[in-house]
Structure 1
Amino acid sequence: MDGAELGDHAATLPREPGVYQFLAEGTTLYVGKAVDLRDRVRSYADPRSARIHRMVQAAETIDFAVTDTETQALLLEANLIKRHQPRYNVRLKDDKSYPLVQLTDHEFPRIEITRDPDPAATAFGPFTNKGVVEVVVKALREVYGVRGCSDHKFSGRARPCLDHDIGLCTAPCTGEIGREAYIGDVESVNRFFAGETGVLGDPLRRRMEQAAQEQSFERAASLRDRLDAVESFHEGRGEAISDASDARAVDVLGVATEGERAIVSRLQSENGQLVDRERHHLTIPDAEEGTDGHAGVLAAFIAQYYAERDLPDAVLVPEDPADPELREWLEREGVDLRVPGAGREATLVDLAIKNARRSDYSDDPVSALGEALSMDRPERIEGFDVSHAQGRSVVGSDVLFVGGESDTSGYRRKKLEERNDDYANMRALVRWRALRAVEGRDDRPDPDLLLIDGGEGQLDAAREAMREVGWEIPTIALAKAEELVITPDGPLDWPSDAAHLHLLQRVRDEAHRFAVQYHQTLRDDVSTVLDDVPGIGPKTRTSLLRRFGSVEGIRKASTGDLESVEGVGKKTARTISERL
């Protein structure tokens, strides 16, 4: 749309308050509010920046809705942005992705971390740091033995599982503990999440002191770290917002921005007590009209976040959002929006800013990966690859990364049926892993993410295997040729220097290395096409395979490279080149 077309559209608009939308191919590009729709839309005919010009050029038409007041326009704008997620608006992401802890309503309740709690379960949270929650849940299971297994794994057991053997479960499944005693332990877990830190902290402290007395210092240090996480879990509760404040509910906001991403930290107070801390992620487009640094982010966040929530009595912010309609709406609703200059309130705004900055993912590729895939932090990632020599000695690898680092104790490998079909091989490998998980035969927790070495075909094969078995884990693939991340919704082309892409590459490369290593071990003990080459004995064959990785690698090697292998002369090198 050029300036003349936009002017023609603007001339048809009323001089009333309302909301306008720039549209292209039925998609909403941008939503804005206006006191006077005609004047506001006409102003886009002469864009104030190249970015605004690009947005206008991309638009095909303009839609609008009239409202009775500027406040109604503000709320309608917020709801339309949340519904359509326009490319050129500051967008608040769904805050339902925060993890919760639930205790199910089974006869013997199960504890687990989830984003989608059962309606009948007792849920606690949401929490913003999944890593800390995992530490606390594991500590609770070690102390109280509450089960974490699936219903399938729990039912019909003849003997306790590995969780009982390593002290994470009291095994109610086989009657090792009675229901009354088990429910008592569940109640202790309830009391901890209700704020009674000592329920878990005191037993951990006693274990730590005992380990120190026994000079088991590594164990004592591990318990100390766990105790620190437990004692900080409820940190902030009981902290007063302001000794003189008479507000019953106060929210404190802080902002941090980097490029097209912003994080708003929200501290929540009730009756002078700090009761919750949250972080919310927003996307800042490169063509946002009127976004002036943190002020614009705050204005967008407040409108979108509170449009469908109960408003607090006061909102403390680091700077004025500079949006008259927003301030008028809050005043009408009885909300005191203020920028503290000094004192306790200013200190808490500083704390909110620090919390926002602390959620920056630049030094945490695991969290950055979760952000890029719109999922929780994928703490546990399993990588899969298949290796074979033209369908012979087919093997699969399953490697584990925890917190961004390889965990070799979780590595597994599988010898597969011999066939020269990469898709079928990957399907068989992932099906093997899925079956072990569903049937409770794998002693590892379910991963947060599966990474397949390959492209769309390998990803489809893996997901087909998981559907057959009924194992639901987010799964993506990484294609070597262009380093594209393949997802069920389509490929993602991330910058080559992105830390989260490097993490996936490390997982992929480790899965490949582990598969090739196992393949070579098997292949050294079987015959290959090299057996038919004159002058190649078992020792030379092994040396060639180890040097070039596979028969295909040998086929691509030059005669000079072949001669570099011990036992291979010029004549033999020429023979190998001719035969292969």
Structure 2
Amino acid sequence: MDSAAVRERAGELPRSPGVYLFLDDREVVLYVGKAVELRARVRSYADPRSARIRRMVERARGIDFAVTDTETQALLLEANLIKRHQPRYNVRLKDDKSYPLVQLTDHEFPRIEVTRDPDDSATVYGPYTDKGRVDTVVKALRETYGVRGCSDHKFAGRNRPCLDYDIGLCTAPCTGEITREGYVADVESVKRFFEGEAGVLADPIRRAMEAASQDRQFERAAHLRDRLAAVEAFHGGGGEAVVARDRRTVDVLGVAIEGERATVARLRSEDGKLVDRERHTLSTPGDDGETDGVAGVLAAFVPQYYAERALPDELLVPERPEGEEVAAWLEREGVSLRVPGAGREATLVDLALKNARGGVGRRDEAGALADALAAAYPDLPARIERIEGFDVSHAQGRAVVGSNVAFVGGSPKKGDYRRKKLDDRNDDYANMRDLVHWRADRAVAGRDERPDPDLLLIDGGEGQLAAAREALADAGWDVPAVGLAKREERVITPEGSYDWPGDAPHLHLLQRVRDEAHRFAVQYHQTLRDEVRTVLDDVPGVGPRTRRRLLRRFGSVENVREATVEDLTSVEGVGPKTAETLRRRL
């Protein structure tokens, strides 16, 4: 776009807060920005302030926008869109969290739900930073107005109301318990609440609270009081409000930049004690050596990082974040933002800077892994940030389970771990096929809130990898996959295998993922196996605890059967008499 085209498009935009998106000729998002006034902010791109932004504008072929009610919502929506689209010209935190939204679908009987990936045709509100408060408010709305929250599959073809109707969460439009006109009127009341009319929900809750108090139902009254507080706080500060904190927390940030990569080190102090240290990687669009600098990196990092994370009481930084939006948001949230000049706080910032510089200087496992696999998968990103590992565990076809672990930035992300009970059969290939198919089906159908990984790691060799790739192809999920064989530590790809040096950092990364997937699968298998009734239950002298110890020691009933009396008596709770009984009965 040239300057005239930018000015012309800017003139069509409203004078409201919101976000804007520069798009290329394929409608790929190049850049996302926020604005207090969309028209004035977009017009400024007719005279770009830097060579990088000038190149972005030249590549752009269109500008899209979204209006928000407040500057805070614009800030949070910008962070959401950056995470979703990963635009080339934004500073991007390599992290997968995003802010929750509330959507009302466009069905004949609309559904309300909290989501991070709303339908294109839905009416969407948010984003919000406190998911717990959003859940509380949505539940209160459903109890007050009976708007359904069920899936389309559950809604269709019912001949009697479901449990939500019985407990007062839904008015059951699926079976005609309410007319469409009445239901739509209730939905309009919900919309009025999200558009700022807090009394639509607060007033009924307040009346119910007062009635409960008069009836001496003090526990219910206290519950309604807490709910009323959440509802009344919901619209404060653009949907957010200051939350009372039980103890003083301080986050300290340090930034180091090298080329197109920045590292932010975060230290956390609670009650004056350092309790946590971590590093985060950001991709910075630094063409020709140009970067956004420390202030620009912090302006991108802070809103993207604190999605669904509790804000600290204080935030210490080496420089103030670029622009005033982030500082204003933190102030509204009750967070003290400071750049310390001396004393203990300045020492903490120096320590964070040292941690950040150490992160930049470390061997880049993720980048090395992408380079090493480039021949097999040319379209891999420059750094493989998210890896999901898969393994299957069973005892000769019994208690078959699968694990799905996730690593982000080289570290386990345990909140994204999943496990699944599989059909009992002694077929490792079929079990792996079913496990990967389950993950792929959920991803393709949009039923898995986790983002797609950059790489799948299969615990096993060529057979397991072939089974996994067959599942991916059948489900239509286009994600690269490799295997890691235990015995020889060979990396298996569709193009062949790699025998990397034992000290290769990218091999160490895959080994950590593989080992964690194996541990998680075995742990679940042992739990499930211990719950399964076996012939050991019929052996006199063998109770549930002894049975679990035997299975954990020998792995299966078959191995217990083959054990010697000496082996059996080595298990706690098994004496010579019980060991002889086991040998005789098995």
* TM-score, scaled relative to structure 2: 0.46
* TM-score (normalizing by structure 1): 0.47
Larger radius of gyration: 1
